[in-house]
Amino acid sequence: MERPLLQNRAIPTSWNGTGGGVFGTFGNVLGGMNYRVYVVNSLQSLRINASDNGSGVGAGGASGQFTSSGIRGGRLQPNNMIASDLAVTGRVELPNLFPGFQLGASFYTGDTSHNFIDAGARTTLVEGDIKFRKRWFEMNATVVHTHINNAAEINKANAIAPVAANATSTTVPTGSFAWNVQVGVHLLQLMKVATSHDIVLHGMYERIDSQNEIPAGFPRDVSQEVDVFTGGVAWFPTPNVAIKLDYTNQDRGNNTSSQEFNLGMAYMFF
């Protein structure tokens, strides 16, 4: 199974940063609450000059800007990052609220203009998620909202700056919204077969609208509104090895669609 589109567009994993923070557990809060808070270098919403390659200096790396699909293009590798703006990010988890049930929430907020424009470009992401497992049934769900302040100023700056051949020069949104729900059925456990193997039927629905809100005067890219269904089966010969086959259908807001089959093998480190 490929990475969910939500984890690609709305939460742009894999996402790294440089910084520091604290983490721990409050053992007496609702059965135990895990927390993490960090200060890191912020995303880069626009670049001063597309001819810079970003190698070792940041300041205008080829992928260092937001696009119509959201904030993913604002990630840079540590050797390409700049830190004129910092961000605060954190997460709380309640893993023992009810048996088999986990509730979590995350946030990220920081200016992203890095002094390339006079206006602030604070970007704030909030996320909530749940996980549930009871015997042979499991599910999880995630909802994400992102707000980009002064997106109009970002778009104006991007319009007058040189644009690299691999950049997307369409409207950076003011806000994006996405959610998904995944379910899985552990067949061998359902059939009460005594084995260390596992076969899981799984399905997922996703709704992603990367241009849920746009600044006044700028066109909306309807292709960024996507409904995704994925279904398939995974075989676990051992708990940390999976062989997976799935089918994905994407329907976009511009009345186009695509389908694909994926076959893969994964090894999970514990």
pTM: 0.88
Q: Tell me the per-residue pLDDT of 205-257, one tens digit each, with 9 for 90 and over.
A: 999 999 999 998 888 889 999 999 999 999 999 989 999 999 999 999 999 99
The residue ranges of the chain whose pLDDT is under 50 are 50-60, 162-168
Asked whether residue 40 is assigned to any structural domain, the reply reads yes
In a domain, 91, yes or no: yes
Q: Which domain holds residue 239?
A: 6-267
- Inside any domain, residue 221: yes
**Taking all residues of the chain, what is their mean pLDDT, rounded to a whole number?**
88
Residue 233 domain-assigned? yes
* 3-state DSSP of the chain: CCCCCHHHHCCCCCCCCCEEEEEEEECCCCCCEEEEEEEEECCCCCCCCCCCCCCCCCCCCCCCCCECCECHHHCCCHHHCCCCCEEEEEEEEEEEEECCEEEEEEEEEEECCCCCCCCCCEEEEEEEEEEEEECCEEEEEEEEEEEECCHHHHHHHHHHCCCCCCCCCCCCCCEEEEEEEEEEEEHHHHCCCCCCCEEEEEEEEEEEEEEEECCCCCCCCHHHEEEEEEEEEEEEEECCEEEEEEEEEEEECCCCEEEEEEEEEEECCC
1 in a domain, yes or no? Answer: no
224 is a domain residue: yes
**Residue 35's CATH number:** 2.40.160
Q: Is residue 136 part of a domain?
A: yes
Is residue 247 in a domain? yes
Domain count, the chain: 1
